[in-house]
Structure 1
Amino acid sequence: MSNIIIGTAGHIDHGKTALIKALNGFEGDSTNEEKQRGITIDLSFSNLTKGQQNIAFIDVPGHEKLVKNMIAGAFGFDYVMIVVSAAEGIKPQTVEHLEIINLLGLKEIIVVITKKDLVTLEQLEEKKEQLLMFLDTFDFEIKFIHEVSIYEKESIEKLKNSLFSINNSIKQEENFFRYYVDRVFSPKGIGTVVTGTILGKKIELNEKIFICDSQMESKIKNIQVHNINALEANISNRAALNLQGVNINQIKRGDLITKKGHIRGFDGIDISFKCLKDKKLHHNQTYTLFIGAKKVEVKVLLFDCITTLETGYATLKADEKLYCIFGEKIILRNANDTICGGKVLNPIIDPMKKNQKRRLLEALDNSDFTAAYKELLDAHKKGLGIISSTQRFALSHERAIEFANELENVFVDVKELVIYPMETKDFIKDFIKIIYTKNTYALLSNASINLRLKWASTAFIQSALDELVNEDFLTRDVSLYKNSNIKEDFTKELETVFLHRLKQEDITPTAPYNIYDDLDIDRKLGDDILKSLTAKKQVIRLQHNLFIHFESLNKIVKEMKNIIKEDGFIDISNFKTRFDLSRKYLITYLDYLDNYSNIKKVENRRVFV
């Protein structure tokens, strides 16, 4: 089934809600306050179906004080139906709504002149001409224009037929599911239900989802598309989702639902903006940001300016995390005054130098991702995650990898999804050279180096090791690398080094990994050396991570037996008065005494049998 979303726009009392009712019978003004005041206060949702075609309507309020609600609905529109009364023509909210949808990049419009029965044909033509002349000042694409009266069934049917001639959504399908919540309610016995518009890939029944703002995971218990149970909801579907395990107080209008791992939140975003005529954006001033169905107060920090700008770049700072993607449209308002529209350029804030940031924003503004990657890699010399391209550039992982492979002087780790500037490989090579220069008998593996350079992927490290082998600096021995100047097998030499080290440490030996790191040898090799020395009884293993030279162990055991002879027992207290050791060593040596048949444990003391 093809799905499109058509939103209404226009001045209060120009007949938007009455027109929707004439088209599909839906009564939009359903609350008591709406009925009493005779105006639409909040968004209302309905649909019109013909065969395999479905049109969803989002009817928005036209009152100047309710523009915030209009904006919340406009983010989901595919097309906009501009409704203008033939009796009144263009009015203030007609203008403001047109300005807002223009700022949001909504170009495809349908023009409906209502209440034609209240004017003469000449007056109708005059209002139509005035409206078209005004619309020419924008760059809208008018799909068609109709003059109707809700009391003239033929005009409504003609409009219906024209609406059904539109059979496709203009939204770009993203590579993951996104959904802004615009309503939250809790029907008795059902649990929490939210409504919104599917912006990305489809969502299916029983799929896991993630609520960004509350950092909660949930599952889709039920899906309804226009009040009908469904197995899935696709792009441009108006969908109600029944969320599992979510309390109604844990989610609100404006929250973003997506899949876990796709979007991170930041308390700032970078945008490009353009103000409406005769409006300016002030530096360091607070405005209301509208993005998706979300409304939040932000401080505007103009780029390269401390006064005012009509167009340019800015950083928006909020007291809460903002979850958005590259290219999303935004609106900034001051009280009831719309100031400007903009586009999210940088949804992930990185520490960057000012000149770097300017070049990055310019590249993003032109969708020049190659140049943007270059600037980001200059700031992320230890690697830039390709997975973040979903949010940074609204690219799929596959397309992001393609872009990465087209870049020059980079290493792309497709498995780990990380891009490294090639100059960083020189850093890794220098790091390795220092180890082998300092310690001629160093013997490390890729994994050992990765433990020291946790930010570097094993594939990137391997690339550096391969180059060092080709340069005859290192020689590979299975998975280990040794200095190419050392030709002999020095494993036995390392056993001697280990024994010497443990003998020096005496009764306070350090953990094996400390020895491995100090000697610059691979952990597996170190484990093998200790196993060999243990098998020869030259080293005794007391605990998982505690090995001692056999002479040191014999010495401390002899001293412990002397304590028993002198005091009649040994425990932690009298042991520590003779040897100022940590509790770890004291307990380990006391436990070792249990191996002797002539010593037994009585409560916390060891005594001779």
Structure 2
Amino acid sequence: MVKRFYTIGMAGHIDHGKTTLTKALTNIDTDRLKEEKERAISIELGYAPLSLDDDSQVSIIDVPGHEKFIRQMIAGVAGIDLVLLVVAADEGVMPQTLEHLEILQLLGIHKGLIVVTKIDQMDEEMGELIEMDIHDKVKGTFFEGSELLFVDSLSHMGIPQLKDRIRKYLKDVPMRDASGAFRLPIDQVFTVHGQGTVVRGTVYEGMIQEGEILEVLPQGKKVRARQLQVHHEQQEMGRAGQRVAINLGGISKEEINRGDVLVSTQYYATTDIVDVVLDTVDSLDYPLKQRGSIKLHLGTAEVYGKIVFFDRNELMEDKGVLCQLRLNSPVVTKRGDRFILRRPTPVETIGGGEVIDPKGEKYKFGPATMEMLSRKREGTPGERMIDVLKKEKGLRKQELLKETALEEREGSAILTELMEANNVHVLKDWYLLKVVHDEMIGVLLGELKSYHDQHPLRQGKNKAELKQDLSTYGTSLAEAVIEQGVTDGVFVQGGQFISLPEFQPGYPSQWEKRMVQVEETIFAQKLQVDSYWEIVSEAGIPTTLQEELRHFLLRSGRVVELDEKLLMGKRVFDQAVRELYEKTEERFTLQDAKSVLGVTRKYLVPFMEILDSKGLTKRDGNERVWRKEPQ
């Protein structure tokens, strides 16, 4: 049987019995701080395991109810699967009850139970009034129509029935995704004597194993998960939906903060500009001005910044507002994450919503930007992937999944569909739109044709230069396109040079006769050739082409280079080597060679040095020894 992991949140007004109810359900007191005991209120998040049955493991988060501790409440409910809205029978629905309810609604939480506590203090008539009041106050929320469960936490009246109801509710709640990339927003950091730094949080997605290398974002600090605990019990693995404490190696308590995020890959974006869709609360006390100050609550992070609108200059109550958050410090997020916005001063909840692009850019005010943001919000995953590839030209798979906020499994399936439809090309580990690939191939074909026309003597264009022709696409992607083009036969590679398949280096038509004349002169002069530079000058070859012609003659094997001035015809050279081999003994002197070839030292010395370099001969004092017969 597959183990199921869930987190339940307790929400409600201060002193309505959340902590006492948690203790009644779990037999654990979550008020662990001295000041919490003294003041009888919850300041920090409290956690306790709830035992229901064999196939589920449930953690209860007791979130603070006092208004000053609203940030802890937001951090607590951000990762929950089911919420218990707690209302005390002796007071009914109070201001913080409504604020908690509003935040739950804005965070996109859809499953909840209403629990009325302290029922020992109410009679039947009061019970009916409280029930009517609660139903009236939760109209229009996901609690509308919910049944109420009445309990007394001290006497345990109603507790078994509540446990049974929780069990039935959780059966219909889908488990969090354990197949995706691991993510744990940190809500507590502390040290344990002899162990070092420990962090705690709810695993949003994925799985973690003991010993795994993780990264703390946004710092980018590598750490090792030395030990895992779930409710004080050591475990080898933690997965989505579980409350996990992790002993981290490689980092001190001072280097990590509440709001940081532990991840296993580079899948998650670290960003300070986020495109969002925002729903405001039903009644704002003051309009929110363009570039007004905000405080973002995202996961367990709390970050200040400004809100930017593209279709208005101020905001009152509204739903589905497409806008942008520009933050003072980076956060870790992905598409689909829920958030809460509060006004720093005067303090009030503005609203909440959903991230539609974790890597926003600065856009212009106006309808074009609104249309673009609307496409981002409404686009299918495939359309989002195409939009990202249009902007980025080409991306490696993990970068593409990160930019589109798609999980590995879903993203891979969409990529396969797009490739089968011939919309996306894959080159090595690069993904790009087919139209972009075709565009790049077109640029390369045009550049090579132009290059061959301008430099017909050259073998082709240097690969490094060719990549620069595609610099707007990125040199790594350009290299992948070129290499695949060579594999597919679109281009030909010879060493570091790239050419078109049909291209053959040759003399340019306007200089062909004179270049042929140079070649004939070199061959006609046999072993005692004039300086190459004198020959090409006398033939009237332009200075700009003389060096290129020299390289062409050498590269094509028409000549052999004696030195930088002297070029000898290859056939002449080969015949001279054969003649020297046949007319000398195994060991011979420079004078012997001169007698056979009849040339001066000016030609003979470089000639013999070439034989040495080719391994045909070896110098031994004043003599040379034939090492092998020339071919």
TM-score range, shorter chain: 0.7 to 0.9
Tell me how far apart the structure 1 counterparts of residues 211 and 145 of structure 2 sit (CA, whole Å).
41
Partner residue of 1:30?
A: 32
Tell me how far apart the structure 1 counterparts of residues 361 and 485 of structure 2 sit (CA, whole Å).
27
Q: Could you tell me how far 1:479 is from its partner in structure 2?
A: 11
Partner residue of 2:449?
A: 436
Alpha carbons 1:401, 1:414 under 8 Å: kept? no
Secondary structure at the aligned position of 2:313 is classed as coil
Unaligned runs of 5+ in 2: 508-514, 520-531, 534-543, 568-620, 622-631
Tell me how far apart the structure 2 counterparts of residues 47 and 349 of structure 1 sit (CA, whole Å).
39
- Find 1:137's aligned residue among 124, 137, 140: 140
Distance 1:238-1:129 versus aligned 2 partners, 3 A rule: same
Q: Which amino acid aligns with 2:47?
A: F
Tell me how far apart the structure 2 counterparts of residues 444 and 359 of structure 1 sit (CA, whole Å).
46
Partner residue of 1:460?
A: 481
Alpha carbons 2:460, 2:499 under 8 Å: kept? yes
Distance 1:189-1:349 versus aligned 2 partners, 3 A rule: same
Partner residue of 1:284?
A: 291
Are residue 400 (structure 1) and residue 411 (structure 2) matched? yes
Tell me how far apart the structure 2 counterparts of residues 171 and 140 of structure 1 sit (CA, whole Å).
22
Q: Which amino acid aligns with 2:108?
A: G
Tell me how far apart the structure 2 counterparts of residues 209 and 362 of structure 1 sit (CA, whole Å).
35
Distance 1:536-1:223 versus aligned 2 partners, 3 A rule: farther
- Find 2:185's aligned residue among 166, 180, 188: 180
Tell me how far apart the structure 2 counterparts of residues 214 and 128 of structure 1 sit (CA, whole Å).
49
- Find 2:220's aligned residue among 211, 215, 218: 215
Alpha carbons 2:394, 2:431 under 8 Å: kept? yes
Are residue 88 (structure 1) and residue 99 (structure 2) matched? no
Equivalent residue runs for 1:133-212 within 5 Å: 133-140=136-143, 145-165=148-168, 166-167=170-171, 169-173=174-178, 175-212=180-217
Are residue 324 (structure 1) and residue 329 (structure 2) matched? no
Tell me how far apart the structure 1 counterparts of residues 187 and 145 of structure 2 sit (CA, whole Å).
28
Are residue 361 (structure 1) and residue 366 (structure 2) matched? no
- Find 2:304's aligned residue among 297, 305, 311: 297
Tell me how far apart the structure 1 counterparts of residues 492 and 26 of structure 2 sit (CA, whole Å).
78
Tell me how far apart the structure 2 counterparts of residues 355 and 378 of structure 1 sit (CA, whole Å).
20
Q: Could you tell me how far 1:195 is from its partner in structure 2?
A: 0.1
- Find 2:355's aligned residue among 328, 344, 355: 344
Identity of aligned residues (%): 26
Secondary structure at the aligned position of 1:35 is classed as helix
Are residue 372 (structure 1) and residue 384 (structure 2) matched? yes
Are residue 62 (structure 1) and residue 65 (structure 2) matched? yes
Tell me how far apart the structure 2 counterparts of residues 355 and 173 of structure 1 sit (CA, whole Å).
40
Are residue 75 (structure 1) and residue 102 (structure 2) matched? no
Partner residue of 2:587?
A: none
Distance 1:531-1:464 versus aligned 2 partners, 3 A rule: closer
Tell me how far apart the structure 2 counterparts of residues 37 and 285 of structure 1 sit (CA, whole Å).
36
Tell me how far apart the structure 2 counterparts of residues 145 and 174 of structure 1 sit (CA, whole Å).
36
TM-score of the pair, normalised by structure 1: 0.75
After the TM superposition, which of the residue ranges 407-416 and 82-91 deviates more from structure 2? 407-416
Distance 1:39-1:384 versus aligned 2 partners, 3 A rule: same
Tell me how far apart the structure 2 counterparts of residues 482 and 109 of structure 1 sit (CA, whole Å).
68
Deviations 1:419-438 (A, max 9, x none): 23515523442343233323
Tell me how far apart the structure 1 counterparts of residues 556 and 506 of structure 2 sit (CA, whole Å).
18
Deviations 1:347-406 (A, max 9, x none): 0134667666433421232242333334334433x3244423433333134532443454
Secondary structure at the aligned position of 2:333 is classed as coil
Tell me how far apart the structure 2 counterparts of residues 414 and 464 of structure 1 sit (CA, whole Å).
10
Partner residue of 1:18?
A: 20
Q: Which amino acid aligns with 1:321?
A: P
Alpha carbons 1:363, 1:369 under 8 Å: kept? no
Secondary structure at the aligned position of 2:250 is classed as coil
Distance 1:149-1:488 versus aligned 2 partners, 3 A rule: closer
Q: Which amino acid aligns with 1:285?
A: G
Q: Could you tell me how far 1:135 is from its partner in structure 2?
A: 2.0
Q: Could you tell me how far 1:457 is from its partner in structure 2?
A: 4.9
Secondary structure at the aligned position of 1:153 is classed as coil
Q: Could you tell me how far 1:298 is from its partner in structure 2?
A: 1.1
Distance 1:133-1:436 versus aligned 2 partners, 3 A rule: same
Distance 1:151-1:358 versus aligned 2 partners, 3 A rule: same
Distance 1:144-1:391 versus aligned 2 partners, 3 A rule: farther
Alpha carbons 2:448, 2:461 under 8 Å: kept? no
After the TM superposition, which of the residue ranges 255-264 and 423-432 deviates more from structure 2? 423-432
Partner residue of 2:401?
A: 390
Deviations 1:62-87 (A, max 9, x none): 11121111001111111100000111
Partner residue of 1:566?
A: none
Distance 1:414-1:90 versus aligned 2 partners, 3 A rule: farther
Partner residue of 2:126?
A: 123
TM-score of the pair, normalised by structure 2: 0.73
Deviations 1:151-207 (A, max 9, x none): 333422222232233345543446200000000001111010000011111100001
Tell me how far apart the structure 2 counterparts of residues 8 and 185 of structure 1 sit (CA, whole Å).
24
Unaligned runs of 5+ in 1: 497-502, 505-514, 520-524, 540-548, 553-596, 598-609
Aligned Cα RMSD in Å?
3.7
Tell me how far apart the structure 2 counterparts of residues 291 and 174 of structure 1 sit (CA, whole Å).
22
After the TM superposition, which of the residue ranges 39-48 and 431-440 deviates more from structure 2? 431-440
Are residue 422 (structure 1) and residue 435 (structure 2) matched? yes
Secondary structure at the aligned position of 1:186 is classed as strand
Distance 1:149-1:86 versus aligned 2 partners, 3 A rule: same
Alpha carbons 1:269, 1:322 under 8 Å: kept? no
Partner residue of 1:584?
A: none
